[in-house]
Structures are given as C-alpha cells and as structure tokens.
Amino acid sequence: MASRANSVSAGLGGSLGSTRASTIWGRSQKLCPASRYTDLESGRISLGCNFACIHCQNWEISQQFAEGTVCGEREIAALIDEARRRGCRNQNWVGGDPIPHIPFWLKVLLWETENTPVFFNTNGFYSTEASSLLRGVVDIYKIDFKYGSDICAEKISGVSGYWKVITRNLKAAKKQGELLIRVLVLPRHLECCLIPIVSFISRELGPETRVNLMDQYSPHWRAAELPELKKRLDPDEWEKAVKIALEAGLRNVIT
C-alpha cells in the first residue's frame, strides 16, 4: 500500500455524491481476469460526468440527478477495505464517470489500509495532468472508445477535440497499466467511427489489445433527437461491425 500511497499527491480532498454501496460478484469476467471485484454502488458510485451523451442509458446519475448521499473519503475507504477483506479482488471506479472525482479518489487511497487494486472505468477524456496523477495508482484501465470522428463526438456527446485526447490517453494507459477497451457500436456509425477506432487500436496499440465490441446499443434519454440513434443496431450492421474489427487485424475481440 505504501508504494501506491506515495504516488498520490498530498492535499487532495472533497466529498463524493452517491446513493449506496454494494458489492458485485462474478461480473465482467471476460474483461477482467479476476473472477470477483468490488463495484461500489453497483456501478453507480459517483454522480456526474464530463460528457453529455444524448443516448446515455445512465442519464439519471450522469446528467440529471438528485444530490444523493454525500460520503467522505474515510467512509468510502472503510467500505473498500471491508469488501477487500471479504474477498473482493479490486475496486471499480465508475459513475457517471470517475473523472470529475479523481482528486477525491486519490484522497480515498490515502485512507485505505488494504492494498486493493484500482479498476478505472472511464470514457477516457481527461487531461495530461490527470493522466500523470493516475500513474502508479491505477492497475487496470477500462476505457470507452466512443468515436472515430470529432464531428460525431461533438454532435452526440458535446465534447470538442475528442480524437486527440482519447488517443493520447489510450497510449498512456497502455504504458501505465493493463488496458481494456470497450467499443459500443452505434447505428450508422461504422464508417465514420468504428473503422477509425479499430484501425487505430490495431496500428498504435497492437492487434492483441483486448477489445470488447458491444452490440447492445439502445436508444435512451434524448437519442430520438438524432435520426440514426432512434433504433437499435440491426443484425446485418452488427455482423459487418465484427467483420470490420477482425479485418483491421484485431485478434483479441470479445463480443
């Protein structure tokens, strides 16, 4: 625990808005070699997100949410330590997205007494300063690679300069820990998004990079505002998406 604590900058503080704490067992086994892991809040530990995806299925905790229960860093650290003693393999920082709460999570680590590995579950859109803070702290990065086009990122998630930031952080994450990439295939976004995404992964990160290609897109929240996002991915488009990923040279694709 000392080595991890030494990687955390002093003087970080704050509080976290959440609703409850719980433990999830035996999920995401294909993505995480550990058969069990701690997932506080059942995947809803931190409220808020730095994206505004119009199709977000978790919009009630990422965009429009009540205050929830405000938890201090000691309280969260105690919950993580207890879960670790019960046999959980790691702590899963999720949301919303954990990015707005990075200073808080680093403070939590200073109060933990058990050496619990960190699973950083994120959209990957963070600064170089944040990346430096996470170095030596995060063991596993699970990053959503959402768009292959800045135009699509701006239109769907309201973010600018997406490609430069996400590709920079993916390269850094590969050097800093174990990298797992999640790609949600969006309807009618194969050419503009999927092809550039899988091509970059194969070329820059390596064909053995673990990629979870997902077909479970479902229109939520304000998805109806964009015609192509009004309906689910059809079977033919999904079959084509898998073919695109394999033809890009990826050899470790999970579907």
Query: Is 96:89 a contact under the CB 8 Å cutoff?
Result: no
152 carries a ligand binding annotation: no
Q: Which residues lie across from 253 on neighbouring strands?
A: 211
56 carries a ligand binding annotation: yes
CA dist., res. 91 & res. 242, Å (int): 31
Structure tokens at 222: 């304000």
**DSSP E strand stretches across 31-83:** 69-71
Query: Is 121:142 a contact under the CB 8 Å cutoff?
Result: yes
Query: Is 79:111 a contact under the CB 8 Å cutoff?
Result: no
Residue whose C-alpha is closest to residue 124's, from 134, 111, 115: 134
Which helix (H) or strand (E) covers residue 168, if one does? helix 162-176
71 carries a ligand binding annotation: no
Cite the annotated binding site for [4Fe-4S] cluster by residue number.
Answer: 49, 53, 56
Q: Which residues are part of a known binding site?
A: 49, 53, 56
